[in-house]
Amino acid sequence: MIRCNPSRQSFSAQISMILSLGFLVVVGSAFLPASQARAQAIIATVNSDPITDIDLEQRMKLLRVLHQPATHDTAMDSLIDDQLRLEETGKFKIKASNAEIGQQISKVANDMKMAPEALMAAMQSAGISDSHIKDHFAAAYQFNLLVQAYNKGVEASETRFGRNSPRTAARPPPASITRFTR
């Protein structure tokens, strides 16, 4: 039978090592961004794509910067709209480039009567992640492209088609139904 009798010196060395590692873990976690240091909770899904509590916080901050209502419900609706827009434009392989996203940011900044750089600075100083900013403005730009493509060349008038034309008649439900859960 083999007996191991650790000396007091090796035991204290082990304790020192454990305490040092514990200190490094605690100090190291202080330098992580808040989004990495905290667990995310899924609060809703849109066609199996999750929306987390962090997404909701980011959206509320974004809505405040854009001078829009920033309640829990409006932020959730905005996130759901963006998820659906990205999903729909993805079906047609519409993908906004960084330059196009920049154009969308510039358009929103001009509508707010401010410089695009000032809007970006306000969003970043509010703690909104670059990926959240990019996703939101990409969804808006891409969806606008899709709507423009649908409306291209369409000229509808009551005098040309009349009020009871087939275009204004009730349409059957779409083939695929988009669902979301909260």
How is the chain split into domains, by residue range?
Answer: 42-152
CATH superfamily name and code, 42-152: Porin chaperone SurA, peptide-binding domain (1.10.4030.10)
pTM here?
0.66
Give me the pLDDT at residue 27, please: 40
CA distance 124 to 63: 13
Question: Does the pLDDT at position 128 exceed 60?
Answer: yes
% residues pLDDT > 70 (the chain): 63
**Do 83 and 52 meet the contact criterion of CB atoms below 8 Å apart?**
no
Give me the pLDDT at residue 177, please: 53
Q: Of the ranges 105-114, 135-144, 152-161, which one carries the lowest mean pLDDT score?
A: 152-161
What does pLDDT average to over the chain? 79
CA distance 60 to 55: 9
Give me the pLDDT at residue 38, please: 74
Give me the pLDDT at residue 165, please: 47
- Give pLDDT tens digits for 33-88: 544 567 899 999 999 999 999 999 999 999 999 999 999 999 999 999 999 999 99
